[in-house]
Chains A and B, each alone.
Chain A
Amino acid sequence: MIRVAVAVCAALALLSSALTLPDTWRWLADQRDDLERLGPADRVQAPGFNNRLPVGGFDFFRANIRRGDKVYVLARPGTTVRGVDFPTGARTFARYYLLPAIVVERPEEATVVVGIGRDPAELGLDYKTELREDDFYVGRVSDPA
């Protein structure tokens, strides 16, 4: 009886693999087919594109901030694909994408204010420089420490 039960275990393990392995294999193959075409820049931008975030704007931000910058994200209202509101989604993406700059909670802590669909000028801060590309803004308050 015990040996039968153990044999059943072996059979179940074999059958389990037979049931799941083809789908797992196919999923891996499909992923590879879809993703190996991406270039180096696409791979870096993929997290943003996959969550419908405005990656081009964040590239503009990234080009104009430096290590040590403290960044305040001023974003338009709206929602993201995850169901979280757009300002939270944009700030979350900024936390990742703009590293090694640091995202801060209040504009008065920032060395740089980045705007998505909103002009940093509305915060009433004194900016050293202000840049704009489409709906994306960079207002520099000070140099990083």
Chain B
Amino acid sequence: MSGILFANALYFAIGVGLLPLLRIAGDRATLLARLPLAYLVGLAATGIVAAHLALVDVTLGLVELVVLAAVVLFLGLRRVRGPESASNRLSLAPEPPWSRALGAAALLVALVLLGHAFATYEVRPLLEWDGWAIWGTRARALYEFGGATGPVFTSEVYLPLQHPLLLPSLEAIDYRAMGVYDPTLAHVQLALYAIGFLLAFVALLRDRVPFALVGLTVLALLSAEPVLKQLSTNLADVPLAFFVSLGLVGTGRWLARGERWTLVAGTLFLGAASLTKSEGLVFALAALLALAPFARGRLRELGLAALAVALIVLPWRLFVAIEDLPIVEYRFRNALSPGYLSDHSDRVEPAVRGLGGEIFTWDWGLLVPLVAVSLVAALLARRHALAALAALWTALAFLGLVLVYWISTIPIELALVWSGDRTIVTVVLGAASLAALLAGEALEGSAERASSSGRDGRREARTQGALVPGGTGATEDAASRRPARPDGTAPASLSPP
């Protein structure tokens, strides 16, 4: 256990170094405020590097990880500026004590739940078929052989071969850190993913969204039955959903506020998602496509983000092409073939019905109504771009999944039974994660509208602003035209005095 915890402490250290290097935090105070983001940033970045190195049979063990952490931490901390300027300060606007208390209580409950999950995961062996047959086999093979050029990753005996290597690479590091192959203890890594998700979610939203909303939303996400149940199976669907959700929150906040640091963090998470499962690329592409129509004047930044995601996934796609890895379940080119799609159009209706049925189930609690109401709130507050992003991404992600089932060669009923409840997790979790941002932005929009309606309105805005961390008065459109600081922090006018 100590080995796996040490490896994860190193992921955190790498994340701390990367925050300044990626301009997510430029000065000490900002670094401290965004520290909860560090663990998952480090996990994602290390997973990407380890997955790429595995393609050329280079092993990332504990010694290499220590060196990497030391170098990244040294370089990162050298970039950190001293005491922050007042305009950069990430101070939180006054928020009613009940809101902070409610948010803190919800986060505490969520952490207790994750502690409970941690205790279960550490005694839960690999049980579910795909958990050992696909993901467990790949992780163990990376641990045993040190790389991905052998038959386990290239021979048709080991089909399916199309799954990317981020999750198995991280588990292989854990085995090396423990010095033994222990597939039960490796489940602890999955619980740490969830804790990292919680911390990153809070870090991305807490200075924009009332703490009560942040805490209650993340608790609702993690409490939903499919999340911790499916996470325990060692399948990659929930880690994928975590990365995509954070990618959406980061890029969504950039869309609403023009803060470059959230775009950088969001892009990293979308890149990690595209290396976690093949569908990750579909979901990342859906996010970038959904952002494009509303990022007027900022298409260069968005283009760079898209390029970064493409560069992250490129080595894996090259490996797939060079090794000519067969994908027996579907062929991407069929998605572009009108003839094939027409011939198999009888699969669409059951796919839509099956996947839709997985969304509208009580297992998710009230996450779907939460998304709907947050969309209404954002539209009422004229946060049209953000609302459109949420709606468009959800539609594109869902249609992307339908397309995958459409071109799949597995009988549709069987395909849905095998994986429908898993693949839908990212759609639900991604949309629900945006709900907190939508609601927070709606509140701020409400304050702005009040402030623009005269003196009385300004007084009211101050009252309302007390509910809005970082409440300002900037409209979404104005914010979208305003450049972010070079260090990626919020423009001064977005920070409360």
Chain A residues with CB under 8 Å of chain B are 1-3, 5-6, 8-10, 12-17, 19-21, 23-25, 27-29, 31-32, 35-36, 38, 42-44, 46-47, 50-51, 67, 82, 91-93, 95-96, 99-100, 102-105
Contact = CB atoms under 8 A, between A and B. Distances in A.
Interface in B203-255: 212-213, 216-217, 219-220, 223-225, 227-229, 232
A43 B124 CA distance: 8
Given A6-B377, A21-B113, A99 B445 contact: no
27 contacts: A2-B377, A2-B443, A3-B446, A6-B442, A9-B436, A10-B213, A12-B220, A12-B370, A13-B219, A14-B216, A16-B223, A16-B364, A20-B364, A24-B223, A24-B228, A29-B116, A31-B232, A35-B124, A38-B123, A38-B125, A43-B183, A46-B127, A47-B126, A50-B127, A51-B129, A95-B152, A99-B141
A23 B113 CA distance: 12
Interface in B157-189: 157-158, 183-184
B443 A3 contact: yes
Given A19-B366, A51-B129, A6 B439 contact: yes
B137 A96 contact: yes
Interface stretch (B7-15, B22-30, B79-87, B143-151): B143-151
A10 B377 CA distance: 12
Contact of A103 (B129, B157, B365, B374): B157
Contact of B381 (A2, A92, A105): A2
A105 B155 CA distance: 9
Which 6 residue pairs are nearest across A and B when measured between Cβ atoms?
A16-B365, A5-B377, A16-B366, A13-B216, A46-B125, A2-B446
B445 A2 contact: yes
Contacts, number: 173
Dominant SS among interface residues on chain A? helix
A96 B376 CA distance: 49
A39 to B, nearest CB: 11
Nearest to B372: A12
Contact of A6 (B213, B219, B225): B213
Contact of B366 (A15, A25, A29, A42): A15
Contacts of A100: 141, 144-145
A5 to B, nearest CB: 4
